[in-house]
Structures are given as structure tokens and as C-alpha cells.
Amino acid sequence: MSGMHPCMHCGALNRLPEQARPGTVVCGKCKHQLFEPRPVAIWDEQQFDRLLASPVPVLVDFWAPWCAPCRMLAPELDALARDWVGQLVIAKVNIDEQPALAERFAIRSVPTMMLFRNGALLDSIMGAMPRQALQQRLAPFLARS
Ligand SMILES: [Zn+2]
């Protein structure tokens, strides 16, 4: 695993050490944990683009507060973010707050999940999915810990 991963606290790009447990990696600038056991909320397109360029796979959850299946999916994604800290980043895009991103990725229904690594789209999933099915679908893409 090599390449740059952005700190969600200060925005600094960090080179990921080859041999380190993800939970122990801190930002070189602000010293916050680079990987936290919870999903990351996306607040603008620049933050989104920097995160998607990471060598760590990023699962983007396009969701909306009024969407019942999104609310059912949320605790499943929280659990995956906890179990796979440093191996998979889960990024939440509220399409009501980020209409430009929803338009850019042609989101027609929520939830829609898209998996990226190094900026490339690897997989997309329409609709909610039980945790076990999600685990099976995503496991082949995980970064090694
Ligand atoms: Zn930082």
C-alpha cells in the first residue's frame, strides 16, 4: 500500500507507511488518527476528490435523510467502518447537501454505493444490502492491514 491519503481533520496529504497497522497511523501535520472506526462525512467536492485518490479503497454511500432504506443501511456501514478501519474508508454523501456530486455520478436513487481506489471506480451497488452480503462483495477489494 503506497500513495497519499488525506487527513480528514486538516486536509494534509500523508504518505502511508508500508508496514504499519492502520489504527496507529497519525497525520504528520496535525497528529490526528488518519483512520477512524467510523464513516467519513463528505462536506465538499475538493475533500471528496482528495479522499477518492487514496490507495485505500473508499466506499461512497450516496444517501438522503428521507430515505428509509438508507437509514437501515447506516448501522451496517458503521459496523463495516469499525471492522475494516484502515482497510476500507466509508464516505457518506448526503445528496440533498451535495447535489453537484449526485449529479456528477448520475445518482438516480438512494442508497447507491460506489467503490473507488486510486480514483478509479471498481464497483457500484444500487440499493441497500445486508451486512454479510456487503462483506462478501467488498472483501476482495480491501487494503491489506
Ligand atoms: Zn491532519
- The tens digit of pLDDT for each residue in 61-83 reads 999 999 999 999 999 999 999 99
Q: If you measure from the C-alpha of residue 95 to the centroid of ligand 1, how many angstroms do you get, rounded to a whole number?
A: 26
Q: If you measure from the C-alpha of residue 1 to the centroid of ligand 1, how many angstroms do you get, rounded to a whole number?
A: 19
What cell numbers appear for 59 in the block?
466506499
Domain locations along the chain: 37-141
Which residue of the set 7, 10, 30, 67 is catalytic? Answer: 67
Q: Are strands 112-117 and 89-94 parallel, antiparallel or unpaired?
A: unpaired
pLDDT of residue 16: 87
pLDDT of residue 18: 78
Could you tell me the end-to-end alpha-carbon distance of the chain, in angstroms, rounded to an integer?
Answer: 9
Kind and range of the H or E element at 131? helix 131-138
CATH superfamily of 37-141: Glutaredoxin (3.40.30.10)
pLDDT of residue 2: 57
Which residue of the set 10, 27, 30, 70 is catalytic? Answer: 70
Q: What is the mean pLDDT of residues 33-47?
A: 94
Tell me, what amino acid is at 61?
D
pLDDT of residue 72: 96
Average predicted confidence (pLDDT) for the chain: 93
